[in-house]
Amino acid sequence: MPERSSVNLIDAGHRFVVAFVLCLLASSSLADDAAPANRLLVEAVDLVRASELEPSAEGKFALLKRAHDNLLSIVEHHPTTDLAVRLATGQWIGNISLTSVREAMNRARPADPRKAGQPIQVWRVGSGVVAVAIRSRGSEALVVDRNGVAALHDVDTGRLLRTWRHPGGLSNIDLTRGRRGGASTVAVSPRGRWTLTAGDDGTVELRDVGTGSLLNKWAHGHAVGAVAMSRNGRLALVGVGREALLVDVRELKTLRSWRGKSPVTAVAYAPDGQRILVGFADGRAVLGEAGTGKVLHEWTHPGSGGGGVMSATFSPDGRRVLTGAANRTAVIRDTTTGRTIRKWRVGSYRSTSVAISRDGRWVLTGDEGHEVELHDVETGRTVRRWRYNASAEAVAFSPDGRQALMGFADGVAILCDIRIAERRRSPVRTTVTSTGGCW
């Protein structure tokens, strides 16, 4: 049997028929939204077939992107269907899969004449940026500022789509050496569908990113220092004082907690919902089991000296955790063994934010020394540095790993290309400006 990579996605009409029949057979045992999911899949198959006959790279890419968006829509908007489960877990339906369409789309992507590392879009918000994210389709960027204002932008045009605000602004408690507020009091779900924000008065709000509408709201008796949420938005991890609380968002019920000897400064929730990560102001980190509250691994960030864990995240596959600390270090660890895989000395001052690409190959780090760095997990090399004139407060990857979104303390967010020069021993350096210039 030939390898899938050597076969066209849809190379004959009968393959389309096979996929279509599979959809119809599956629909008999699915939920009420099976019919629209089936329609989206059939349309995606048609688009892929059309792309194989399209002579221009631009036209081929546009058709494949529409097919890719259809498949993502099945996963996001019809999650109870068999089709969504199969697509989300990388399975093939007939001769099509979400991964195969994404790879074909990337191969057909038109050549980009921009200089490597150059800004693609620049946005400005009212005050310092504390959180950034690019939604799962890669077409919308979310930027949240220190006043609790969230702004959703179109990536291609730069246009502002909508805004909303956490009343009273974000939590502004002092946790790490005079640093006030920050990305720990804002959480964006893994696919960018929801935001969780913590306010000065201890209130926590859950909102829909697509509409900006308030979904739920509750209050804690003390200031909130960090928040995170589960993949489906049903559970929230909230750092209150020295304790991390796991909260059922629908029933507003605390399920379990993890306690430390110093204030909680960062929290993260594993994509599979099985584990949580809590960072404390004394540099301690705890990896726990969400279902039972059991502590799986515990360590102190190397050399943190009381500076604290300032940012924490899981890899998209949940097998690794990444933490950034006030002592200018970022460390990636194995969640099964707790073993350190890589450690980087970050920038010129304290690490503020970290991110891992979807394929697990790259790590982004931001620091108060005005730099964002791109690191290769496999080799341990730092391959690119961006420099700006303000502290880098938040970083995020685009879903395809080709772009980096960076938020800075002066209220500027910059979306940059990530291409790197091959076989260079020293990092590629790029200085970016608030007007989109670079050198």
pLDDT single digits (tens) 297-335: 988 876 555 468 888 899 888 899 998 888 788 889 999
Can you tell me the mean pLDDT for 285-299? 91
Q: Convert the pLDDT of each residue in 197-207 to its tens digit.
A: 888 778 899 99
What is the per-residue pLDDT across 346-358, written as a single tens digit (0 to 9) for each? 776 778 889 999 8
Tell me, what's the pLDDT at 360?
86
Chain centroid, CA 279 distance in Å: 19
| 15 vs 98, higher pLDDT | 98
Summarize the confidence of residues 355-383 as an average pLDDT: 88
Lookup: tokens for 130:
């504390």
Answer with the residue of higher pLDDT: 167 or 361: 361
Condensed to tens digits (0 to 9), the pLDDT of residues 221-253 reads 777 888 998 888 889 999 988 999 999 988 889
From residue 350, how far is each of 34, 220, 236, 327, 426 by CA, in Å?
A: 49, 29, 27, 6, 22
Instruction: Average the pLDDT over 139-166 and give the result.
Output: 89
- Quickly tell me which residue has 């002592």 as its tokens: 327
Identify any residues that bridge with 79 across adjacent strands, giving them in sequence order.
none
Calculate mean pLDDT across residues 266-274: 89
The confidence score (pLDDT) of residue 21 equals 40
Cβ within 8 Å of residue 178, ≥6 positions away: none
pLDDT at 295: 92
394-433 tens-digit pLDDT: 999 988 888 899 999 899 999 998 876 555 667 887 788 7
Global model pTM greater than 0.75: no
Instruction: Report the percent of the chain where pLDDT is more than 90.
Output: 21
The chain-wide mean pLDDT, for the chain, equals: 81
- Between residues 382 and 21, the one the model is more confident about: 382
Query: What is residue 45's predicted lDDT score, i.e. its pLDDT?
Result: 92
User: How far is residue 187's CA from residue 207's CA, in Å, rounded to a whole number?
Assistant: 11
Of residues 152 and 434, more confidently modeled: 152
Q: Tell me the C-alpha to C-alpha distance, in Å, between residue 96 and each of 102, 240, 289.
A: 10, 46, 36
For residue 389, list its beta bridge partners.
Answer: none
| Banded pLDDT at 34 (limits 50, 70, 90) | confident
Q: What is the pLDDT of residue 174?
A: 46
> Per residue in 92-136, pLDDT tens?
988 888 888 888 887 787 655 455 678 889 999 888 888 888 887
Give backbone dihedrals phi and psi of 70, rounded to 5 degrees, phi first: -60, -45
Q: How many degrees, rounded to 5, is the angle at CA 57 between CA 52 and CA 63?
A: 55
Q: Is the pLDDT of residue 391 over 80?
A: yes
Q: For residues 90 and 266, which has the higher predicted lDDT (pLDDT)?
A: 266
**Of 370 and 9, the one with more pLDDT:** 370
**238 with 224: CB under 8 angstroms?**
yes
What is the per-residue pLDDT across 205-214, written as a single tens digit (0 to 9) for each? 999 888 889 9
Tokens of 200: 């000065």
Residue 12 above 80 pLDDT?
Answer: no
Q: Tell me what percent of the residues of the chain surpass a pLDDT of 70.
A: 84
Residue range 61-100, pLDDT digits in tens? 889 989 988 898 888 788 888 888 888 788 898 888 888 8
